[in-house]
Amino acid sequence: MVGIDYRVRSRAGSAAKNAKGALTSGAQAARDSASGVPGASKAPPVPEFSAEESLDELRSLATSAGAQIAGEFLQHRDKPDPATLIGKGKLEEIAGAAASVSADLLLFDHDLTASQQRNIEKVVKIRVIDRTQLILDIFAKHARTREGQLQVELAQLEYMLPRLGGRGIEMSQLGGGIGTRGPGETQLETDRRKIYRRIRHVKEQIESVRRIRAQQRQRRESVPVALIALVGYTNAGKSTLFNALTQAAVLESPRMFATLDPTIRGVTLPSRRQVLFSDTVGFIRNLPHTLVSAFRATLEEVQRAELILQVSDASSPLSAEQDAQVEKVLKELEADAKPRLRVMNKIDLLPPRQRDSLLDAATTVHVSASKGIGMSTLLDRIDQLLQGDALSRIHLRVPQKEGKTLAMLEARARIYSRKYKDGLVELEVEAPESVVRKVREFVVPEFDPIEILGEPLSETIKRGKR
């Protein structure tokens, strides 16, 4: 594994350090490399990972992909080398180390251009992949549904397309002079046509999936059931929290991107309102744009959600940096303005004194999904923040023979009082609007015409006539 730390120097010659609230030099160099203009990035300052922390994350990604780490290198440079990214001398050192341990793969914690990848492979004599390609491989490994597989394939094809140029000795380049004019890049053009054709086909299939999901969503939205989306950095414990809230059986694993395909389950809140929870794919630093675009159909659930639960790892020292990355992806999805509840997970991993000092706020709840700590508080806070299907307190008089209606009230309303009288059941309940509409015929008005001064209206009329 190879990590890169670029020490970007200012005009005055002072080295840019990893200050809190500023981009690291590595992140700045990556953006400069992508734009082609050093220092051209004008992104707002957010907490970023240091080169060592980024290399630790690459190690977790490689382990999730099933790799065995044979060695690690961290290169410090003032600026990226256009040909090999890390410089010829360092590359030769890495080539010798890779040969000594018989490594068959070299991972770079940086996006490589097609020419950089070819130049590095010529020196190290083994296969070279960059960070984006590693993430794509993990996604392909964990995709289970047809929708997930299509979205991963689209991202892989879009990543591969610009990297076709010049690959393979079978490419017959046009030359200059007598006897050097070949047929041109025939194989390259053929491969590009095949990839373009496949991309169009996959996009059509994804569009079909999107239409089906839209129909399913339309049926859901015909009933006033709120959708709550769980988002967060990968390995923050979203699937564990989802299982704790919904009693689902989603895979829980410390590996990154262990769960990829979206899952939706229904939950009854303390107010007896019905809501849907959606578990989405985990976000990560510099999530490849091709993946965000490919998974837009899946991430539409985040855009449609009435409330977003942003799950954070309270035990991680990089919690602020991870939340900043989640915020960037939510902004790209145009979902950053939605109501949000911050869920600080894994508090059971904190020291007891630090755990006891944690205080919940209006938009922050501290929980441990694996130990079941704070689940009731979290559900109560969700109940308070939801605006749809508003609650109202009503007085009902339901005939005892209406067993179906009484059973529905028992299941979906909070009952404060219950009396039996003359074949009727008098109830005072707090119920969602969706339930109130179904029992409107049994609602007792504020001034009940059926009963005055504690006696039936017919008796009052008779007494008045007498």
- Determine the pLDDT at residue 222: 62
Instruction: Report which DSSP code applies to 372.
Output: T
pLDDT at 342: 93
What's the pLDDT at 14?
37
3-state DSSP of 179-215: CCECCCCHHHHHHHHHHHHHHHHHHHHHHHHHHHHHH
Per the model's pLDDT, the better-predicted residue between 1 and 296 turns out to be 1
Rounded to whole angstroms, the Cα distance separating 24 from 7 reads 9
Cβ atoms of residues 378 and 343 within 8 Å: yes
Residue 466 has pLDDT above 60, yes or no: no
Q: For 285-314, what is the mean pLDDT? A: 76
Q: Tokens at residue 168, please?
A: 């393979």
Query: How far is residue 84's CA from residue 80's CA, in Å, rounded to a whole number?
Result: 8
pLDDT tens profile 137-174: 887 877 777 777 888 888 888 888 877 764 444 445 55
Query: pLDDT at position 134, please?
Result: 87
Residue with tokens 């590693």: 134
Question: Is the pLDDT confidence value at 34 over 50?
Answer: no
Distance CA 348, CA 208 (A): 44
Average pLDDT over residues 193-199: 90
> Sorting pLDDT into bands at 50, 70 and 90, what band is 433?
confident
Average pLDDT over residues 374-382: 91
pLDDT tens-place string over residues 210-234: 788 777 767 766 666 788 989 888 8
**146: phi then psi, degrees, rounded to nearest 5:** -60, -40
Burial 357-396 (b: 16+ CB within 10 A, else e): eeeeeeeebbbbbbeebbbeebbebbeebbeebebeebbb
Look up the pTM and report it: 0.65
CB distance 131 to 153 below 8 Å: no
Find the mean pLDDT for residues 118-135: 89
**pLDDT value of position 346:** 92
Q: What is the predicted pLDDT for the residue at 309?
A: 92
Query: CA quadruple 150, 153, 157, 159: dihedral positive or negative?
Result: positive
Q: Give the HSE-up count for residue 361: Cα atoms under 13 Å, Cβ half-sphere.
A: 8
Q: How does residue 200 score in pLDDT terms, banded at 50, 70 and 90?
A: very high
Pairwise CA distance, residues 6 & 245, whole Å: 44
For the stretch 119-153, what's the b/e string if a residue is b when 16 or more beta carbons lie within 10 angstroms of its beta carbon?
bbeeebeeebbbbbbbbbbbbbebbeeebbbbbbb
